[in-house]
Amino acid sequence: MRHDPRRRRTIAALLSALAAPALAQPRASEIRVYKSPTCGCCNDWIRHLEASGFVVSATDVPDTRQYRARFGVPARLGSCHTGVVDGYVIEGHVPAREIKRLLRERLPALGLSVPGMPVGSPGMDGPEYKGQVDPYDVLLVQKDGRVTVYAAYEPDHRR
């Protein structure tokens, strides 16, 4: 059997063309989440992130306040869990689409926060809330603690 260099180049080009789309797929962002081991809404938020394409690694901790402090999130912006993704801090029930937007925009900020636990936000939207949806803001948190509204969610505005 003869070795035809043109045939080898053709096969190599075809294999390269077939592999290109798989190689071009953006990798899923990994979010590291620090949460209470007994918090159901944290687990629901994690499922929301996973359903939106994020890879989540969760660590159960006795008190999330120390993680907020470690990552520079002001106490007034706190919630029940803290996440870290690609250099940003994500505090509370932030919708996945706002996290993805921040990762696309690459703003010079500390991260995003949804303070408290607003009903209707991801993880706080289960059947036990009987369809209730409260308005809430996703805040863009600057490294100096200043905040601006990054996205406003109204009861008729769905994720």
Residues 6+ apart with CB under 8 A from 157: none
pLDDT at 83: 97
The residues spanned by each domain of the chain are: 30-153
Radius of gyration of the chain from its Cα atoms, rounded to whole angstroms? 21
Nearest Cα neighbor of 94 from 28, 19, 15, 151 is 151
Q: In sequence order, what are the beta bridge partners of 137? A: 152
Q: In sequence order, what are the beta bridge partners of 151? A: 138
Question: What percent of the chain has a predicted confidence (pLDDT) above 70?
Answer: 81
**Average confidence score pLDDT of the chain:** 87
φ, ψ at 82 (rounded to 5°): -130, 135
Tens of pLDDT, residues 27-82? 679 999 999 998 899 999 999 999 999 999 999 999 999 999 999 999 999 999 99
Euclidean distance between CA atoms 113 and 73, whole angstroms: 9
pLDDT at 155: 82
φ, ψ at 89 (rounded to 5°): -95, 135
Q: In sequence order, what are the beta bridge partners of 139? A: 113, 149
Q: Which CATH architecture has domain 30-153?
A: 3-Layer(aba) Sandwich (3.40)
Predicted TM-score of the model (pTM)? 0.81
Tens of pLDDT, residues 78-137? 999 999 999 999 999 999 999 999 999 999 999 999 999 999 999 999 999 998 999 999
pLDDT greater than 60 at residue 25? no
Question: What percent of the chain has a predicted confidence (pLDDT) above 90?
Answer: 75
